[in-house]
Structure 1
Amino acid sequence: MVKSDLTAPLGMNKRRGIGRLPFGLIGVAIMTVLLTTGLIWIGIVDDPNGGEPMATIELSSALDGVSPGDIEIVSLPDGRQLDQPDAESDLGSNGNFLLSDPKSSASAGQSSGPTSLSDLARRVDYEGMDAGFSGEALSTEPIKQLLEPHKFGSLPKISAEGIRPLDVYARRPSPTTLTQARIAILVNGIGLNSDMTLKAIEDLPADISLGLSPYGDDIDSWMQSARLSGHEVLLQAPMEPFDYPDNDAGPQSLLTNLDKAQNEERLSWVLGQTSNYVGLVNFMGDRFTSNEMRMNELLSKVRDHGLMYVDDGTSPRSKASEVAGTQKVPFVQADLVLDQNLNQEAIGTQLLELEVIARQRGIAVATATAFPVTLAALEAWSQRLEERGLSLVPISSAINSTR
């Protein structure tokens, strides 16, 4: 029997297929998805910060807690310059100034240093505070108001305005070092051997400070050469070691058995050998530096002359740190001596230790002597220091940060 709609069970003859799908509703859904996606895409692509969390903060122009040293003065993009402040009023508190003018005759190998405080006020290069950190010449002519006539020559003194030789002759560190671990190195024995002295001055980075021996030949010329190459300089003060007189620091050594006036006479001889230095560092002297009374006498004179003092780190019995704190003397304590063992491997190990200290504490200090192996090691080590996230700074930048 032929089936027909009349004989088929109810509902069994209905056709199933795509013809009855709700195409209208599906189309609307697809259009809605596309439209929503497009709006989201436009919002993200057209907005550089699209899709990122946003926060709103309130800006304030208040300068609470900001010191003048935190503010850098720069030139304007169109070449115009900002008005320069009065340097003479700022020297006493700012500590480190770059005295040379990058546009002056210093670049031709001649001294560019000012010869008076009024000249200094005109010549301090505020615009170029970032300049000179790879060899820019420092002043070699002393400031007359910072000199005290003496039978041994001119000694450093604090000016009537309270400006110290330390303030004027120190090398200013690069502002970029504020964000990095810093290392200060003082190489002593400059002036004793002309070949090694010349190598230290010419081959070492300018931020490595140099300690001049008062017994060196033509020490004033070495001071000028060092500062024209950008090196901050100190004077070595010879002092009595424990095995004196078998081991002698020289005819002008400060001795524990001399009275105060005799030691002051010898100190004056040392101070009169040259100028434009920022302070003193001991040469030998483990017996003298362990004598608290004698160190009080010495460091009070260092303070009164407007200088800093560096303990070279050779004696664990030194009283320098505690006496400097009592006497309020600008002070630096060396963390280690790089070349107590004079071989390349040992010096390399000490340099690695110095890097560890710098990363842990923010700054590390070392002393060394101008031996051939030491100078070669320092020159090679310093080549890629910045790639390792470390910066060299002058020894004066470590004042009172190592105790």
Structure 2
Amino acid sequence: MLKLVLSLGLLVCLMTPAYASKIAIVIDDIGNNKNDLKAALLPGNISFAVLPYTPYARAFALRGHHQKKQILLHMPMEAVENNRPGPGVVTADMNNAQIKLQLVDALDSIPYVTGVNNHMGSKLTQLHMPMQAVMETLASRKLFFIDSRTSEFSVAEQMAGEFGVRTSHRHVFLDNQVDEPYLQQQFEQLLSIAKRQGQAIGIGHPYPETLSFLQKQLPQLQEQGIELVFVSELTTVANRNGYLLPVTSAK
């Protein structure tokens, strides 16, 4: 009997893939186009960041949840250069109460939201007081924050640490260009960072070229020893200097 138990245990170990690294992929800017709904069919644990008040935001969130995907609010935030962030934008001239109300309204407009990342926000994420209001709101709802890192001077992770909000940041933008050589280059950079650091986060968009590229690449990750996980799994609680501290589980 003991030999049978040991043999079964060994079989389970052999059948379980040994992952050396983890990546998460967030598809941003979901909600403006009906074709965005097709993105939910991407294989594996993809996270989707949905723009509030867009025509297909709610429909996508419902479909994505049905497909067992992770849903984030892609919160519009003021940029250094105003590039029309879209409805619901949080701006630096708002007071804390206004920011919180704007964020709560956006969160309530999309079902199944588990976390937030910033849409644009190169100005707002540099400012302590607005980001404090954001993190206070997320802490009260036990939501995580992914810094899209649209500014190298972002204080988002530091402020998340002040309020115990689980956080991480984007390592690679996958599709600033959408030709296949560029997509391949950026994807390989994402995998390289993950292999060096143990994990990495990539951000892409629901462009047909990006979706087609990922449809081909994602099934090949397992044989490379890389696990595709929801972005929440790569979040941690940062200390007050923005350094990430390990947590037992962030799923």
TM range (shorter): 0.7 to 0.9
Report how far residue 178 of structure 1 moved: 7.0
1:307-335, Cα deviation, whole Å (9 max, x unpaired): 11111133212111111122210112111
The equivalent residue for 2:167 is 331
Using the alignment, how far apart are the partners of 1:325 and 1:343 within structure 2?
Answer: 38
Q: 2:76 aligns with which of 238, 251, 267?
A: 238
Using the alignment, how far apart are the partners of 1:334 and 1:400 within structure 2?
Answer: 14
| 2:131 is the alignment partner of 1:291 | no
| Percent of residue pairs bearing the same amino acid type | 28
The equivalent residue for 2:25 is 185
The equivalent residue for 1:260 is 96
Tell me the number of residue pairs that the alignment of Structure 1 and Structure 2 aligns.
224
| 2:184 is the alignment partner of 1:348 | yes
The equivalent residue for 2:13 is none
Q: Compute the RMSD of aligned alpha carbons.
A: 1.8
| 2:235 is the alignment partner of 1:399 | yes
Q: 2:40 aligns with which of 170, 178, 201?
A: 201
Amino acid at match of 1:201: A
Query: Are the aligned partners of 1:313 and 1:333 in contact in 2 as well (CA < 8 Å)?
Result: yes
Using the alignment, how far apart are the partners of 1:258 and 1:288 within structure 2?
Answer: 11
Using the alignment, how far apart are the partners of 1:386 and 1:243 within structure 2?
Answer: 41
What secondary structure sits across from 2:69 in the alignment? coil
Using the alignment, how far apart are the partners of 2:71 and 2:221 within structure 1?
Answer: 22
Q: 2:117 aligns with which of 281, 285, 291?
A: 281
Report how far residue 341 of structure 1 moved: 2.7
Q: Where in structure 2 are there 5+ consecutive unaligned residues?
A: 1-15, 238-242, 245-251
The equivalent residue for 2:7 is none
Amino acid at match of 1:372: P
Instruction: Within 5 Å, give how 1:8-87 maps onto structure 2.
Output: none
The equivalent residue for 1:319 is 155
Bigger strand share: 2
What secondary structure sits across from 1:234 in the alignment? strand
Larger Rg: 1
Report how far residue 184 of structure 1 moved: 0.6
| 2:225 is the alignment partner of 1:389 | yes
**Structure 1 segments of 4+ aligned residues over 4 angstroms from their partners:** none
The equivalent residue for 2:240 is none
What secondary structure sits across from 2:236 in the alignment? coil
| 2:46 is the alignment partner of 1:229 | no
Using the alignment, how far apart are the partners of 1:313 and 1:330 within structure 2?
Answer: 16
Using the alignment, how far apart are the partners of 2:147 and 2:53 within structure 1?
Answer: 19
Using the alignment, how far apart are the partners of 2:87 and 2:40 within structure 1?
Answer: 27
Using the alignment, how far apart are the partners of 1:366 and 1:218 within structure 2?
Answer: 23
The equivalent residue for 1:121 is none
Report how far residue 198 of structure 1 moved: 2.4
Query: Are the aligned partners of 1:206 and 1:229 in contact in 2 as well (CA < 8 Å)?
Result: no
Q: 1:301 to 1:206 in 2, by over 3 A?
A: same
Query: Are the aligned partners of 1:177 and 1:391 in contact in 2 as well (CA < 8 Å)?
Result: no
Using the alignment, how far apart are the partners of 1:295 and 1:331 within structure 2?
Answer: 13
Q: 1:213 aligns with which of 25, 39, 51?
A: 51
TM-score (norm 1): 0.53
Report how far residue 180 of structure 1 moved: 2.8
Using the alignment, how far apart are the partners of 1:187 and 1:205 within structure 2?
Answer: 13
Q: Which has the higher contact order (CA 8 A, sep 6+)?
A: 2
Q: Where in structure 1 are there 5+ consecutive unaligned residues?
A: 1-175
1:268-291, Cα deviation, whole Å (9 max, x unpaired): 221111221101110011000011
